Structure 1
Amino acid sequence: MQSSAHSQYMDESYSSIFSITNTFDVVDPDAPETALSAYEQAIFLAPRAAALYYHKGQVLEQMGRTSEAQSAYTEARQRGHRC
């Protein structure tokens, strides 16, 4: 079981690591899939990190998967992220 301090640390760490995925003006068409995979792995490692769910939602939204994005945003809010 993770402490809230550890979760906060993971939240901040992964948010900064993956913040680059918020912009998709790259040529690589697989970038959203790669970003989604990275967020899913990060969530597996730090399931309490609310920002990861938010950023996963952003990627899903970019991919046109709005229903899944809304679920990710809901998870983020339930974990305390303000979105």
Structure 2
Amino acid sequence: MQSPARSQYMNENYSSLFSATNRLDTVNSDAAETALSAYEQAIFLAPREAVLYYHKGQVLEQLGRTTEAKAAYTEARLLGHRC
């Protein structure tokens, strides 16, 4: 189970990245790859945070990597995210 302190830390430190994910259609692929790397690092630090998998799926979808995006969305759902 994820601790409230770690969840708060993730929300504070990745909130700007979350909002940037929604604008990736206007950002180049290098920025998308950077965002993907950040989500993967965040998932390593907090593997039970469903929202990280959801946002990773969004980035993968923007990059055209639909199979990987579906896997990320599935993991998000398994952890309780409604997507």
Q: Structure 1 4/63 Cα, relative in aligned 2: closer, same or farther at 3 Å? A: same
Supply the distance in 1 between the matched residues of 2:10 and 2:48 (Cα, whole angstroms). Answer: 8
**Is residue 7–residue 49 contact of structure 1 (8 Å, CA) maintained in 2?**
no
Letter in 1 for 2:78: Q
1:11 offset after TM fit, Å?
Answer: 5.2
Matched, 1:49 2:10: no
Tell me the alpha carbon deviations over residues 7-41 of structure 1, each in whole angstroms, 9 at most, x when there is no partner.
54355335513211221213x43011111000000
- Give identity over the alignment, percent: 62
**Which residue is 1:78 aligned to?**
78
Task: Name the one with the larger helix percent.
Answer: 2
TM-score by length of 1: 0.82
**Which residue is 1:17 aligned to?**
16
**Which residue is 1:61 aligned to?**
61
1:64 offset after TM fit, Å?
Answer: 0.6
**Is residue 60–residue 66 contact of structure 2 (8 Å, CA) maintained in 1?**
yes
**Which residue is 2:4 aligned to?**
5
TM-score by length of 2: 0.82
**Which residue is 1:36 aligned to?**
36
Supply the distance in 1 between the matched residues of 2:58 and 2:76 (Cα, whole angstroms). Answer: 11
What root-mean-square deviation, in Å, do the aligned CA atoms of Structure 1 and Structure 2 show? 1.9
**Is residue 50–residue 75 contact of structure 1 (8 Å, CA) maintained in 2?**
yes
**Is residue 2–residue 46 contact of structure 2 (8 Å, CA) maintained in 1?**
no
Please list every run of 5 or more consecutive structure 2 residues that lacks an aligned counterpart in the other structure: none
